[in-house]
Chain A
Amino acid sequence: MTLNAEDHSHLTPGPPWLEALRTEGRCHFAQLGLPTPRQEAWRFTNLAPLTQPRWQIAPPASAALNPGPLPSVVPADHPPSYRLVFVNGYWRPDLSSTSGMPNGMVLTGLAAALIDHADLIEAHLGRLARADTQALVALNTGLLASGALLVLPPGLMLERPVEVVMIGTGGESDPPLAWHPRLLVVAGAGSRATLIEHHLSQTHHQNCANLVTELFLGAGAQMRHYKTQRENPASFHLATTSGRLDRDASYEGFLLTTGGRLSRNEVRLVLDGPGATATLNGAYLVRGQQHCDTTTLIDHATPGGTSSQLFKGVLDDEAWAVFQGRVLVRPGAQRTDGQQLHRALLLSDRARIDAKPELEIHADDVKCGHGATVGDLDDDALFYLRARGIDRDAARSLLIAAFITETIARITDPVVAAAFESLADGWLTPG
């Protein structure tokens, strides 16, 4: 079977509203179909390779798989994170650890949460992610079976970070597996938390993750949301994130992509209350035949909002990266400050980059800027380092790390910044 919403026999029936949502999702997907390069938003990313493998939903038997060591950004001498672990799309309570959560906080598998938090889920699920216009959201909704729910009660200042770990695994004889998890985050007014996502492969087995994330940030809520996607180079990673920021809320996101044959991060953030702040930074390092798409939309819907984005990419071999960044300032969103910068470093002349920064401004009192640059390694710097006795490869690595550092340094959580720095270093010195 190809990637479609027809086979949904694995789904456990849910409450009527959920069944209605799923049916609607399947209908929308039947109408929309997989995106094609004929659509503007998908001009540079062709999902045709996604239709080749005969994808299957992982059998529940795989719920016994041992995924190996579990990653964490938290050093051993720090208090551990609250951690939810998913293997091949299934939540694994046996591998997760959420003990010691403060009162009112919820962190659990989405299906399990339906029992205790059905009303809250019903009130939020599908309210930000658009199944009617976004095909991958429709597919995710139609096949919605698993995911995570994170709820922060108003005013909660969470000390320990939350980590969501999604691991793909499989043997030689297993079919390619697809999963469609949903991450639902509801941060109450004035709450504060750090959420870290890990997406990785245990084996070389081909997977397709079609992830949808919905983030509700209440007034004054502060969310730090960091993601590393380091899946194997056979796998597909499609992630659609929709966030809504209420008055004075602040969101700091970071996307670190090193994995996947084809990956797309599509992030839409709506600044939906005066004084909201959205920071979205990222780094991608790709080589071989990897295709890496970053598509962002920062929607300034209310006055006095601030957004800033800095993305940096390193491309080697025949890698192909796409950056589409759109900043929209709606009528009335005065005193908006929206900045965006994308810089790519090409290490090979066979690599390809398509960068499309866009500003769409419908208010007059705004400060917005965007830029995009593409360059290669500075020959003068390379020669200077080598003339001092530093090997060519080491000199190149130093310069690439220096290029990437600027954006990783913007991660305000020092523990995560250090962990992401070493992930980037790991890309530079593989094996």
Chain B
Amino acid sequence: MMSAFCAALPDPGACGGTPPLKWTSRDQERKPEPMLEITNLHASVGDRPILKGIDLTVHAGQVHAIMGPNGSGKSTLSYILAGREGYTITEGSVTLDGRDLLTQSPEERAAAGVFLAFQYPVEIPGVSNATFLKAALNGVRRRRGEKELDAMEFLKLTRTKCRQLGMTDEMLKRAVNVGFSGGEKKRNEVLQMALLDPRLAVLDETDSGLDIDALRIVSDGVNALRGPDRAMLVITHYQRLLDHIVPDRVHVLAHGRIQRSGGKELALELEARGYAEFGADEAA
């Protein structure tokens, strides 16, 4: 039954509309050291176990997709990688470039190269986007032992990146994410990613709330950041984002565990059949 399903898939190379990649996964085979290594990760909120033994290895240059039904623990995993409080790690480990991640503060992880593009970017009234971006950039640069940027250097760099993402200067003056449309919020996330130059980018449902044009702009922005020294974890419920950001590997997360892993064609399979076979209790 499985093979019959696979046979019906279109030639993966012919997937409609896939932008040409600047980088292909073949090159990373020269670098056997894993960048992100998640081993047997168990995590709870209060008494409630949410992640129940996650194993995942991502190498530099790779893009991995994590797909799964609502409530399967995708955001939980991404928050744990970024260091949010409120989760108890009951078992397992996470390392980035061989260094333990779980003992680091969120700001240490940011400097080490973890970047989480939030599913719901937070609105911060009273703090201008420019103030926020400059504090973030210089915070990370200071920890990385790099020279901090002065106001002029910062503005020049940010303006260039903004233009690439179709963002206006006016969005720099506004309070962080306050009154931003869904598309503007996600573009703002990609702008932050471009400025902070992460090792590992975790994109949590970056496609949610985007129309097709916004989706293209955001994905182009993300694709432009693919490179041999960077890895990405693209978390999504739907396959359509993966038409734009084509992954090297796809993992299915359900009930707090990775149930299956495969190539990008696995995403199409899930799109066609839903998550029912993984016992998803959601209606979708």
A-side residues, CB < 8 A to B, are 378-381, 383-392, 394-395, 398-399, 401-403, 405-406
Contact = CB atoms under 8 A, between A and B. Distances in A.
A403 B175 CA distance: 12
Interface string B106-142: 1101110001101001101111000110011101100
B83 A394 contact: no
Given A383-B82, A392-B105, A399-B127, 16 more contacts: A378-B124, A383-B122, A384-B121, A385-B135, A386-B105, A386-B107, A387-B110, A389-B136, A389-B139, A389-B143, A398-B127, A399-B124, A402-B124, A403-B126, A405-B126, A406-B125
25 contacts: A383-B106, A384-B118, A385-B124, A386-B110, A387-B109, A387-B115, A387-B116, A388-B140, A388-B192, A389-B110, A389-B137, A389-B139, A389-B143, A390-B107, A390-B132, A390-B135, A390-B136, A392-B107, A394-B139, A395-B107, A399-B124, A402-B124, A402-B126, A402-B175, A406-B125
Nearest to A402: B126
Contact of B196 (A383, A386, A388): A388
Contact of A406 (B83, B126, B196): B126
Interface string B54-70: 00000000000000000
Contact of B85 (A383, A389, A398): A383
A84 to B, nearest CB: 35
Contacts of A378: 122, 124
Contacts of A405: 126
B217 to A, nearest CB: 21
Interface of B: 82-85, 105-107, 109-111, 115-116, 118, 121-122, 124-127, 131-132, 135-137, 139-140, 143, 175, 192, 196
A402 B135 CA distance: 14
B126 A401 contact: yes
B76 to A, nearest CB: 14
Contacts of B139: 388-391, 394
A395 to B, nearest CB: 8
B107 A384 contact: no
B106 A386 contact: yes
Contacts of A403: 126
Contacts of B84: 383, 387
